[in-house]
Structure 1
Amino acid sequence: MKAVQQAVTVGLTPAGQLLRLVWQGRPYPIRGVLDQWRYGGRWWLNEAPRDCYLVQAGELVAELHHEAALDRWWLARIQD
């Protein structure tokens, strides 16, 4: 996996399911969630917990992170 660490836009269905990822102005439809986990954060650095998803988005296999308190999404890594 290649580290990216860039802010992205993630579209959700009305039910809250992942729908699409927009990265560098290009939309990638999310075809499936391959894995999902919760990262507690490094408390000693005051990191907030976040939800993490490994998704098939178009031709990408991408690891997305979501910090719910700030409603912030970022692309952590992509499969190279």
Structure 2
Amino acid sequence: MKAVQQAVEVSLTPAGGLERLIWQGRAYAIQGVLDQWRYGGRWWRGEAPRDCFLVQAGGLLAELHHEDGGVWWLARIQD
């Protein structure tokens, strides 16, 4: 997977599931969450804990991170 590390917009369904990813002005419908985990962050560097998701979104296989403060970012995509 290729590191991206860019902020993205993620919209949620009314039930709180992942619905759509918007990256570089293009919307990708999220077809499924393939994996989900909680990362505690490197506390000694001041990193916040976050929820991580591996999703299939259109033609992308993407790893999304959601920080406790509400920020979404695209960590990696499939090469």
User: Which ranges of structure 2 fall in alignment gaps of 5 or more residues?
Assistant: none
Q: Give, as a single letter, the amino acid of the residue that structure 2 aligns with 1:79.
A: Q
TM-score w.r.t. the length of structure 1 is 0.97
Give the paired residue count.
Answer: 79
Aligned equivalent of 2:14? 14
Aligned equivalent of 1:50? 50
C-alpha distance in 2 between matches for 1:37 and 1:15: 19
Aligned equivalent of 2:59? 59
C-alpha distance in 2 between matches for 1:10 and 1:41: 21
TM-score w.r.t. the length of structure 2 is 0.98
User: Which ranges of structure 1 fall in alignment gaps of 5 or more residues?
Assistant: none
Percent identity of paired positions between Structure 1 and Structure 2: 78
- CA RMSD in angstroms, aligned pairs only: 0.5
